Amino acid sequence: MTTWGSFKMELGRKVYDLDADKYPEAALAGINDALRFIAATHTGLPSIFEFEAVGESTFPLPEVIARVIRVTDAYNNELEEQVNLGVNGYLIWGPSIIVYPTPRTDLKVYAECYYNEITGDADVLNVPQWMLEPLKLYAASRILDDPGCQFALLNQFKTRVDSGNPEQMPLNIMAAHYMKQFHELLNRHPRRYL
């Protein structure tokens, strides 16, 4: 069980902020961006939602759902996702799921959801253990983006005195390096469905 308080200290070492107090807002925004990104594109929090079918064919989906994995009826028969409603199955339409024909039994929607937002030091990062390092790299990259952009603006007005130094924007290079490592680590873990 990793809390944000201990995780941000590890994150601080990546961005040379040993006390984790230089970039508190950027660190919090970075970790929440990372959690949303991973849930939306790779692995979300597995969840099951049950809907009582009483003559209804449209069911509102909770906002926390990143993606629907499968839909079953009360007898565990799996419904197929359709592109139109001319055949039996379901269709995701905006914030709702439409089932055709109208189901006679309750439905179960298996989905991956977004992770809880981190707001304070005591909040727990409820992610698989393998995901901690990619989260750290993504958040570190996002933290370094802001000062890197500020330095880029300042360097436009600065006379180049250090003509022997090819790296004018070391923070941007480091941020890009962390983001590359993030994608490499994420790609080593195939997506797993419910």
Query: Would you kindly state where each structural domain of the chain is located, as residue ranges?
Result: 2-43+116-158+166-187, 45-113
pTM: 0.78
Q: Specify the pLDDT at position 26.
A: 87
pLDDT of residue 84 exceeding 70, the answer is: yes
Percent of the chain with pLDDT over 70: 84
Percent of the chain with pLDDT over 90: 41
What kind and span of H or E run contains 132?
Answer: helix 132-157
96: left (phi over 0), alpha (psi -120 to 50) or beta: beta
Residue 127 CA to residue 121 CA, distance in Å, equals: 16
Q: Token pair for residue 66?
A: 């990143």
Contact 156, 183 (CB under 8 A): no
The confidence band for 115, taking pLDDT boundaries of 50, 70 and 90, is very high
Q: What is the mean pLDDT of the chain?
A: 83
pLDDT of residue 64 exceeding 90, the answer is: yes
Q: Starting from the edge strand earliest in sequence, which strands make up the sheet with 45-51, in order?
A: 45-51, 107-113, 65-73, 78-79
Distance between alpha carbon 183 and the CA centroid of its chain, in Å?
A: 13
Question: How confident is the model over 99-104, as a mean pLDDT?
Answer: 81
pLDDT of residue 28 exceeding 50, the answer is: yes
Residue 17 CA to residue 11 CA, distance in Å, equals: 8
Of the listed ranges 6-20, 74-88, 139-153, 162-176, the least confidently predicted one is: 162-176
pLDDT of residue 194 exceeding 50, the answer is: no
Q: CB-based contacts of 78: which residues, under 8 Å, 6+ apart?
A: 70, 71, 72
pLDDT of residue 166 exceeding 70, the answer is: no
Residue 166 CA to residue 180 CA, distance in Å, equals: 21
